């Protein structure tokens, strides 16, 4: 005899995120961090409740509208970089801009500006195999930022990096929030991120157990 086993990952969870802040979700493996990120970015639909972003209820958007929302308003940074082996750093960044409808001249300008912002202008012609892990992640961040997203999601962006590279990535993410007014949500086990986050959401067993801000620590 076999059947479907349903597991409730998130339970009665409610949280609001704000522009210009780097918010960190921390907690043990399996507590629901990545699920929460997937729901808030529209990569996954909730079985019940709402995931609202930029005034839109993502659960009510049809697949095509959801894909358009993610393309135009969100940027993603993953642990595994997700770069195309055959493309140069500059081409990696230009690719999604083309899907957004930008002309070649405009996408080239934005891509160069994004690479400059992460300190990799001198590596623009190189492919992933020629880049270090930290450089690959900075290209991935530049690709996300070049879209000028209002929402930037990062899933374990520093876990595969050494201390120096990880620190540089953290600084870039924090600068993206401050300089561009982006809402940055980061899932991470990395304790280095805690010092740089504007807000730290502690998760356990599918619920937010603590909500702490750098300016005024608040425990719930």
Tokens, residue 31: 């507590």
What are 53's strand-pairing partners?
56
Nearest Cα residue to 37 out of 181, 175, 138, 156: 156
CA distance 41 to 89: 25
Q: Which of 40-49, 103-112, 136-145 has the lowest mean pLDDT?
A: 40-49
Per-residue pLDDT at 205: 81
Which DSSP symbol is given to 93? H
Residue that wins the pLDDT comparison between 15 and 86: 86
Residue 200: CB atoms within 10 Å: 19
Pairing between strand 207-213 and 199-204? antiparallel
Angle between helices 133-146 and 163-180 (to 10 degrees): 10
Architecture of the domain whose range is 22-43+58-213: 3-Layer(aba) Sandwich (3.40)
Tokens, residue 32: 């629901």
CA distance 183 to 168: 19
| Residue 80 confidence class, pLDDT cut points 50, 70, 90 | confident
| Tens-digit pLDDT profile for residues 7-63 | 455 766 778 889 999 999 988 787 778 888 888 888 888 777 788 888 888 888 888
Phi, psi of 122 (to 5 degrees): -75, -5
Q: Taking 60 as the threshold, does the pLDDT of residue 94 lie above it?
A: yes
The continuous run of DSSP H or E covering 36 comes out as helix 33-41
157 touches 80 (CB < 8 A): no
| Tens-digit pLDDT profile for residues 205-217 | 878 888 888 764 4
143 touches 114 (CB < 8 A): yes
């Amino acid at each position: 005899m076999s059947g479907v086993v349903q597991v409730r990952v998130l339970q009665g969870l409610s949280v609001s995120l704000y522009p210009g802040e780097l918010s960190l979700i921390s907690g043990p493996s399996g507590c629901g961090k990545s699920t929460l990120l997937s729901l808030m970015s529209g990569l996954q639909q909730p079985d019940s409740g709402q995931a609202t972003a930029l005034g839109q209820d993502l659960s009510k958007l049809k697949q095509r509208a959801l894909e358009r929302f993610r393309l135009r308003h969100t940027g993603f940074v993953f642990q595994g970089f997700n770069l195309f082996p055959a493309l140069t750093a500059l081409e990696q960044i230009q690719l999604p801009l083309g899907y957004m409808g930008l002309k070649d001249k405009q996408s080239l300008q934005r891509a160069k500006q994004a690479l400059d912002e992460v300190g990799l202008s001198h590596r623009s012609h190189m492919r992933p195999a020629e880049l270090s892990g930290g450089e690959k992640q900075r290209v991935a961040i530049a690709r996300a930022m070049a879209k000028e997203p209002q929402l930037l999601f990062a899933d374990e962006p520093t876990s595969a990096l050494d201390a120096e590279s990880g620190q540089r990535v953290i600084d870039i993410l924090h600068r993206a929030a401050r300089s561009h007014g982006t809402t940055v949500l980061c899932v991470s086990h990395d304790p280095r991120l805690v010092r740089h986050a504007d807000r730290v959401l502690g998760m356990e067993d599918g619920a937010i157990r603590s909500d702490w801000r750098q300016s005024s620590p608040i425990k719930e």
